[in-house]
Amino acid sequence: MLEVLPRLPDDPILGLAAACRADPNPNKVDLTVGIYMDEQGLCPVFEAVQQAQRQLIEQESSKAYIPPAGDAAFNTGIQQLVLGADSSALLAGRVSSVQTPGGCGALRIGAEIIQAARPNARVWVSDPTWPVHIPLLGSVGLRFESYRYYDAPSHGVDFEGMVADLKSAQRGDVVLLHGCCHNPCGADLELEQWAQIAEMAEQQGFLPFIDIAYQGLGDGLERDAAGLRLLVERLPELIVAASCSKNLGLYRERTGATLFIGQNSASAEALQSQALVAARRVYSMPPAHGALIAGRVLGDQALRQSWQNELESMCRRINTLRSDLRSKLEAAVDQDFSFIEREKGMFSFLGLSAEQAQRLRREHSVYMLDSSRINVAGINAANIDIVARSVAQVLGR
C-alpha cells in the first residue's frame, strides 16, 4: 500500500537551510529559517531559562502527565504577558487558555474551535502570510480568502487595500492578523489602523484570530501587544495563538497557548472545554518541559526581570542590525533601503527578484528565500559586509 506514495518536495524554507548547511563555502550566510542568532551565529539560551530549568530538574519528582489544559502557572503567565495583567477581560473572567505544542499547535487548536463553531468558515489571510498558516488552518476544512497587505513598491502596509478587501468579510468569517513583527514582510499596522480594524469587526461581525509569535522583538513587550489588546478591550470575542519559541527561546520545547476571549466567564469556560476535547483528538496531552520552565520565568519576579532585560537587549540588537544593514546596502548600492529600519522584528523583503535571490545562493553562498525574505537576526558583524557586497553584485552595481 505505502509504495504508491511519491516523494514530496522539501519544505521551501527548511530545504534551503539544509542546502546552506551542506555548502562547503566557509563564508556562507544563512538568512533562511526564522531563528534568532547571536553574534557568534548561535541560538542562545536565556539565563533565566537556564536557571528555571536547573530548578525544575532539581525539584521535579514525577514525569506524569500535566493537566490537559497545561501548567497552571504557564497559563496564568502567558495570559498576563499577552493581554496585560490589568486587562479588563482578565479581570472579568472572560479569558481561558490551553497550553499547546508551540505556536503551530495553538493555531491548530484555534482552527478546531472555529470549525466546531462554524463548519467551513472563511478565514481571511494577509497577502503574504506565513506559509504554514494555510496548511495548519486548512487541515480542519476551513476555506480561505486573502486580503491585500504588503505593498512592494513602498515596502509598507497597503492599508487602503486591506480595508477595501476586508469590507467583504461577513459575520461568521475569521480574519487572521499578525500581532506584531509580520512574518514574512516585517511591515506592521499602526495603532490607529488596529482601531479601524476593531471598528470594522464591531460593525461587520467577523472574528479576529491573532497570531502573536514575536512579542518583545519589535518595539518591546508592551508596545508589540498594543494592537491586540485594543481589540480585546473593544470586541466581545477573540482567539489568540501565542508562541514562546522566539521571545523565550524555547524553540525545540514547543511551548505555546491558545487564548480565548469570550463574551463572559461562562463563554470562556465553554471555549476551553471545546479546546480540551479538540486537543485530546489531535495530540492528547500537552508537552510539559517548556511550559514548566516558562511558567517559572513568568511567575518569578527575579527570573522575569532577568529574562526581560535579555529580551530587550535582543530587540535592540535586531533594530541595530536593521540600521547597520541599511547603511551597508546604501553604501554598496545607489538605492534607498530605509524601509529596513522602519520594519519590525526578524524579517524583511529586500526587494530582489527570484532570479537574483538564486544567484546570491549560487554565486555567493548567501541563502535567502526566492521572495528575498531574510531573517535579519541571521546577520552579524562577520557576515554583514558579505551580504551587502553580494547584494550589490547581483543588482549589477
Annotated catalytic residue within 130, 158, 225, 307: 130
Cβ within 8 Å of residue 119, ≥6 positions away: 141
| Given the residues 246, 291, 294, 324, the one annotated as active site | 246
**From the candidates 106, 111, 187, 213, which is the catalytic residue?**
213
**Cα angle value 292/293/296 (rounded, 5°):** 85
**Residues in Cβ contact with 167 at an 8 Å cutoff, skipping those fewer than 6 apart:** 200, 204
Closest to 338 in 3D by CA, of 154, 182, 214, 193? 154
Type of residue at 211:
D
Distance CA 377, CA 383 (A): 12
Q: Among this protein's residues, is 198 annotated catalytic?
A: no
Catalytic pick among 71, 211, 224, 300: 211
| Contact in structure between 225 and 82 (CB atoms under 8 Å) | yes
DSSP for 155-202, please give it: TEE-HHHHHHHHTT--TT-EEEEE-SS-TTT-----HHHHHHHHHHHH
Q: What is the three-class DSSP state of 381?
A: coil
Coil, strand or helix: which one is 292? Answer: helix
Question: Residue 246 catalytic?
Answer: yes
Query: What Å distances lie between residue 263 and 201, 220, 386, CA to CA?
Result: 15, 29, 53
Active site (annotated) includes residue 30: no
Cis peptide before 287 (omega within 30 of 0): no
> The C-alpha cell of 48 is what?
533565566
130 belongs to the catalytic site: yes
Grid coordinates belonging to 306:
532577568
Catalytic residues: 130, 211, 213, 246
